[in-house]
Amino acid sequence: MIYLDSAATTFQKPPAVGRAMTEALASMSSPGRGGHPLAMRAADTAFRCRTELAELFGLDGPEGVAFTLNATHALNIAIKSLVPPGGRVVISGYEHNAVTRPLTALKAKVSAAGGPLFDQEAAIRAFDELIAPGVDVVICNHVSNVFGFVQPVEKVAALCRSRGVPLIVDASQSAGILPINMKSLGAAYIAMPGHKGLYGPQGTGVLLCGDGQIPRPLLEGGTGSISLSQEMPDFLPDRIEAGTHNMPGIAGLLAGIRFVRRQGTQAILRHEHALTCRTAESLRRLPGVEVFAHPGCLAQAGVVSFRVPGRDVETVGEALARRGIAVRAGLHCAPLAHRTAGTLDTGTVRVSFSAFNTPQEADRLAEAVGDILRR
């Protein structure tokens, strides 16, 4: 199968990821739950994973790195730590349901900073107008999971710092691909999955916590620390890591992070960007295909969406699957992004790349779409 759905999960993993998970099952118990070798090996692996994440994303130390189940879990912690019921929030026009649904549950007053697709300056102007006194938090995804639109988070972060408003960054589509530095952004929280651009397994995620942030736990329970107290610890990462850790997942995530660091995020981005541009150009040559890509794929990472007027996107996606090509069609759990871009009524077919895809696979996709149109 040609796998072009890495915005959902990077199915192709470095071989070291599977080996690390198998080794963890055979040699690790739970960190912080004993002084015996199995527990100590687990604790060392978790610490090394936190340390490498801190180094990759510009944290002063590993304490601000908390493990979660996924990016949605991390975002829920961040949002519910900063947004009071009925609070005022400014979000981008391209947010995922992992942001909008928790805000709906909190009955937050939400303003969306919209703007044309791939227009970073319009996005900044929209944020500039909306970030005002009384706003509790700003939330911005770094890259749209639907269109690959790289949003100007550095400039959004500067606006937030100048106005004293905390910022949450959803790095679900950028972690491991675009440069992210917690220290220079000054964000309150950055959330990311382990199973996408970090090449770890499903069931892993990370919440990076900024200086001075004391998040609100979503779960209470055992942490392996200060067991006598009936309140959650007031220090990180224990405060938001109740229960047994997913050590096979964390070991696999560590192997994925090391793959990313060896390859280099710049090299991965160049590779994915080249495939995105190649695919967009090939699809544009097909009659009737509407491709959502900026000329030269400026302000766009390794994701490109398209649709064919008069053809149901789900039907196109299924036809590609029958030809051995995995993509995702529909609304991609991001109806706000589709509303902003004007595709809510139809959805799109999304093509997304990883470090393991090739130019030949991109060409095969375009050939298959052409074959579907002819039939």
The amino acid at 195: H
Q: What is the CA radius of gyration of the chain?
A: 21
Q: Taking a C-beta distance cutoff of 8 angstroms, is the pair 364, 325 a contact? A: yes
Out of 3.40.50.1100, 3.40.640.10, 3.30.930.10, 3.40.50.720, which CATH number does the structure's domain 15-263 have? 3.40.640.10
pLDDT per residue as tens, the chain (375 positions): 999 999 999 999 999 999 999 999 999 999 989 899 999 999 999 999 999 999 999 999 999 999 999 999 999 999 999 999 999 999 999 999 999 999 999 999 999 999 999 999 999 999 999 999 999 999 999 999 999 999 999 999 999 999 999 999 999 999 999 999 999 999 999 999 999 999 999 999 999 999 999 999 999 999 999 999 999 999 999 999 999 999 999 999 999 999 999 999 999 999 999 999 999 999 999 999 999 998 889 999 999 999 999 999 999 999 999 999 999 999 999 999 999 999 999 999 999 999 999 999 999 999 999 999 998
Q: How far apart are CA 4 and CA 331, in angstroms?
A: 17
Q: How is residue 227 written in tokens?
A: 């067991």
pLDDT at 48: 98
Q: How far apart are CA 186 and CA 165, in angstroms?
A: 11
Identify the bridge partners of residue 348 per DSSP, sorted by sequence position: 330
Q: Quick one: which H or E segment has residue 78?
A: helix 71-82
Helix axes of 15-27 and 37-57: crossing angle, nearest 10 degrees = 150
What fold does the segment set 2-10+265-374 form as a domain?
Aspartate Aminotransferase, domain 1 (3.90.1150)
What's the Cα-to-Cα distance from 41 to each of 28, 204, 360, 362, rounded to whole Å? 6, 19, 42, 42
Q: What residue ranges do the domains of the chain occupy?
A: 2-10+265-374, 15-263
Q: Do domains 2-10+265-374 and 15-263 have the same CATH topology?
A: no
Phi, psi for 127 (deg, rounded to 5)? -65, -40
Three-state secondary structure along 219-279?
A: CCCCCCCCCCCCCCCCCCCHHHCCCCCCHHHHHHHHHHHHHHHHHCHHHHHHHHHHHHHHH
pLDDT at 124: 98
